[in-house]
A and B are shown apart, each in its own frame.
Chain A
Amino acid sequence: MTVAENPIGQAVVWINDPLNWTNPGGMLDRLGEHLTISALAVALGCLVAWPLGLWLGHTGRGGGLVVLVSNATLAIPTLALLTILPVVFSSGFGRTPVVVALAVFAVPPLLANAYTGVLQADPEARDAARGMGLSGGQLLRRVELPLAVPYLAAGFRTAAVQVIATAALASFVNGGGLGEIIRTGFGLGIAGGGGQIVAGGVLVAGLALVAEVVLGVVERLVTPRPLRRGRQRAGQPRPADATGRA
């Protein structure tokens, strides 16, 4: 037998097997599930967090709430929410509870950045807009929202990468996604499934890193040139970075 001895060699063998790509439950299937779940979760998170964050930032209230939400979700284990929500929904372990559970973890970065984005808008621009007779809603829509775009984009990137990383854990509750490949590998044992475990790890990690890079580019593109912050100064934590990692 020419089966590679070390896990990396086995992983290469496993990835090179076309059946592992196209089988039901193969890589393409799992990738599709992973992306679907993640996209729905991020969309749901945006739907909830952005309006709330923008409104809180506009009124300048609720800073405590934003911090509280961030801290609370940091302490909640992903696994707990992934397990509890499907039972609560009692709709079985379909897609919805997993999406909702993941969306919960997308909310803090989205909320915090939307809030900060509006709050940090230049007070002089705000005064000028008021002086021109803009109403509160117009001010939010025409001045504060455009100025908050870089923050919204940063929050979106953080949230999306977070969700894509967390979605791997959906496999614990048979929710699908690329994590299933790793779980199946562990089911086979380290000796037999080592290659599959590492291969799954490469896929999950690769997807997260690709998402980070691509969304980083998107973030740069949607940020108007004058608003682009220079390279992050070393050691300067972004507000949204205080999110837990799954």
Chain B
Amino acid sequence: MSFRLSYRADPGNPWFSWQYVRDNSDTILAAVREHASLTGRAVLIAVLIALPLSVLAYWVRPLAGPILAVSGVVYTIPSLALFAFIAPYLGTGTTTVLVGLVLYALLLIVRNVVAGLNQVPPEVGEAAMGMGYGRWRRLFRIDLPLAVPGILTGLRLATVSTVALVTVGVLVGHGGLGQLIFAGFQNNLYKAEIMTGSVLCVALAVVLDLLLVLVARLVTPWTTRRAR
């Protein structure tokens, strides 16, 4: 047909479109920023709660079972339900999303930190006690440094799954990149918007994971040396 316009050759809804990215860079950047900030804050808060909790579970053995059981039950509750419980009380702000994310990240971190602490050889702990180390000194000089691989594993798992989970925040209007995915769905299946949101989300997870791997390499040089 002579009057066919060039861009009509391709039905006007491609999966990838620089046009879309260029025209909406502000929205996209804002979404990335919200996503990253929610992830960062959630993981940080989760770590701050999880570390003392793990040490408690490590020191007071009878508490280990209940602590892990309770966080296990919370982990089983679907995120949508968790947001549904929180939202009527905290409203539809970022706080709701944050609380939900923290609760999920908590289990992954606690479980891995406790595993890391339990892997500290008892002889090492006894040697430290024999050298006159007190409980706290032993914790900070012996137990926690030796548990660093476990802590970092928990951190990586928590970070990657939190990035994916932020998208569910769409429910209360703060889903970061999930906002793009959902808007694309509602916007007559705007493929470029859906795909941009999804790809950036995965990319963010991969980047953060690689960063943490790098940190792990730097903090625990002995693990890589042993692997060779």
Contact = CB atoms under 8 A, between A and B. Distances in A.
Interface in A58-100: 71, 74-80, 83-84, 87
Of A161, A166, A173, A205, the most chain B CB neighbours within 10 A belong to: A205
Contacts of A79: 167-168, 170, 175, 178, 181-182
A235 B181 contact: no
Contacts of A76: 164, 198, 202
A142 interface: no
B179 to A, nearest CB: 10
B78 A83 contact: no
A236 B117 CA distance: 11
Which of under 10, 10 to 19, 20 to 34, or 35 or more describes the interface residues of A? 35 or more
Of A83, A197, A237, the most chain B CB neighbours within 10 A belong to: A83
Contacts of A74: 157, 160-161, 164, 205
Given A79-B182, A201-B84, A244 B161 contact: yes
Q: What does DSSP make chain B's interface, helix, strand, loop or mixed?
A: helix
Interface string A204-246: 1100110010000000000000000000001111000110111
B201 interface: yes
A87 B161 CA distance: 25
A227 to B, nearest CB: 23
Given A77-B167, A84-B198, A205 B78 contact: yes
A200 B81 contact: yes
Interface stretch (A12-20, A24-32, A120-128, A181-189): A181-189
Contacts of B49: none
Contacts of A183: 171
Interface string A168-208: 11011100000100110110001000100110111111001
Interface string B103-116: 01000000110110
A236 B115 contact: yes
Nearest to B84: A201
Q: Which 9 A-B pairs have the closest CB atoms?
A: A201-B84, A235-B114, A80-B198, A165-B78, A7-B88, A75-B205, A204-B81, A205-B81, A201-B81
Interface of A: 7, 71, 74-80, 83-84, 87, 161, 164-166, 168-169, 171-173, 179, 182-183, 185-186, 190, 194, 197-198, 200-205, 208-209, 212, 234-237, 241-242, 244-246
26 contacts: A7-B88, A75-B206, A75-B209, A76-B198, A76-B202, A77-B164, A77-B202, A80-B167, A83-B181, A83-B198, A87-B189, A165-B76, A171-B80, A172-B171, A172-B185, A182-B81, A185-B84, A204-B78, A204-B81, A208-B77, A209-B76, A234-B57, A235-B114, A241-B111, A245-B78, A246-B168
